[in-house]
Homo-oligomer: A and B are copies of this chain.
Amino acid sequence: MMSPLPASSATVPGVEAAFRAARAEAEARDRADPLGHVRERFLLNEGTINLDGNSLGSMPRAVAERMERVLKQEWADGLIRSWGGAEWFRLPEIAGDRIAPLIGAGQGEVVVGDSTSVNLFKCMAAALAMRPERRVLVAQADNFPTDNYIAQGLAELVPGVTLRAVDTGQALIEAIDSSVAAVVLSHVHYRSAAIEDMPAINRAAGASGALTVWDLSHSTGAVPVDLGGSGADFAVGCTYKYLNGGPGAPAFCWVSPRHLPNARQPLSGWMGHQSPFAFDYGYRPAEGVRRFVCGTPQILSLSALDESLKLWSEIDLSALFGKSRELTSFFISLVEQTCTEFGLAVDSPRDPEKRGSHVILRCKHGLPVIRALAAEGVIGDFRAPDGIRFGFAALYVRFADVVRAVEALHRTLAIRSWNREEFNQETVVT
């Protein structure tokens, strides 16, 4: 669809030299990349560089074949029998077990279904029920909006519950007092990519008797996560970013095994019942994490995700997380060598150990810049008011892609900055 990227238009000698050196370095790194072969498992348009895999991951090739089988064999031919015969019924747990090793969870502790928003509601409500004498939810004020919208919805529904939104970091830890039932926060920040100190926050919450609800949407498959080892209580996460589950793929939900027997969530649909086909009048939650399933799972979306997740069993996670850090560091370094004259500023942590797998740059005319890049086949995204965000999914992004993206960014800024008019034509972002 996209036309191939034209050669760099850089004319400043130092910049040109920087790109030349970066191209050579990228070539060497890609050649030595132990994960390089994984890229072939994805259906990629070679004219496009997906640096928005932190928003929507690219498609593993195997999904198309799986979907064909699900449609024609399982649905059209197997019909209702596929709930057992094709394991549709168990798919929320099967997919959950595939995610578990990525987040420091055990088998039988993770379940997939519903959206991240719905799963946040389940976990926050379960935490409130476990702490009936505490009625405050603590949240990061600058968290991804849906987390706080859901907390607001819960606080409006349940009389007496209030939401305390605070700054991240020390302010958040200080906000955890004896009135707090749960702390809801993201592990990797959707905007800055800053990584929260999960063990420290779990310790602070635990010491005060509060429970933690972690949103792992920007962490899973991008950075190391150790829910069990760090003493977390609940977690949810998105699967359409680094897990490549497809647009709007169902989210996951983790409950610490030490809470599971007592954890009750109010979205008590029949598919989380101990015996859904007994058609009992009273709800009895399933024994394990299955009790966090609500209604009938969306099998087409869930099957695509399940297929995408199979890829992970072959991946050396420490190599992957290392490559993520190297890709973002390489990007930051090249941007700083070539683009700072245009007023760009890195707004993500410098320390790669404290950074997720995306980078946000402050950029005055972010929206038209992102659009101009897209027209050249480099997909990033804009985050109001002035952020341009680029994600580096190490399963399929190459070091060479980083160079091509920064070259396109440089070209865009260099050419377009001559024409400030164009930068002011901001229209609706989608």
Contact = CB atoms under 8 A, between A and B. Distances in A.
A141 B430 CA distance: 45
Interface stretch (A155-163, A309-317, A352-360, A397-405): A155-163
A298 B248 contact: yes
A219 interface: no
Nearest to A47: B77
A298 B250 contact: yes
Interface in A260-288: 264-271, 273, 276-283
Number of contact residues on A: which range applies?
35 or more
Contacts of A159: 158-160
Given A72-B43, A118-B267, A247 B88 contact: yes
B71 A67 contact: yes
A270 B76 contact: no
A302 interface: yes
Nearest to A282: B152
Given A79-B56, A146-B270, A294 B71 contact: no
B270 A149 contact: yes
Interface stretch (A109-117, A169-177, A206-214): A109-117
A271 B114 CA distance: 14
A64 B68 contact: yes
Interface string A355-395: 00000000000000000001000010101100000000000
Contact of A75 (B77, B84, B247, B273): B247
Interface in A221-271: 238, 240, 246-251, 264-271
Contacts of A52: 79-80
Contact of A80 (B118, B302, B381): B381
A168 interface: no
Contacts of A160: 159
Nearest to A296: B248
Nearest to A68: B64
- Which residue of A74, A125, A159, A269 has the most chain B CB atoms within 10 A of its CB atom? A269
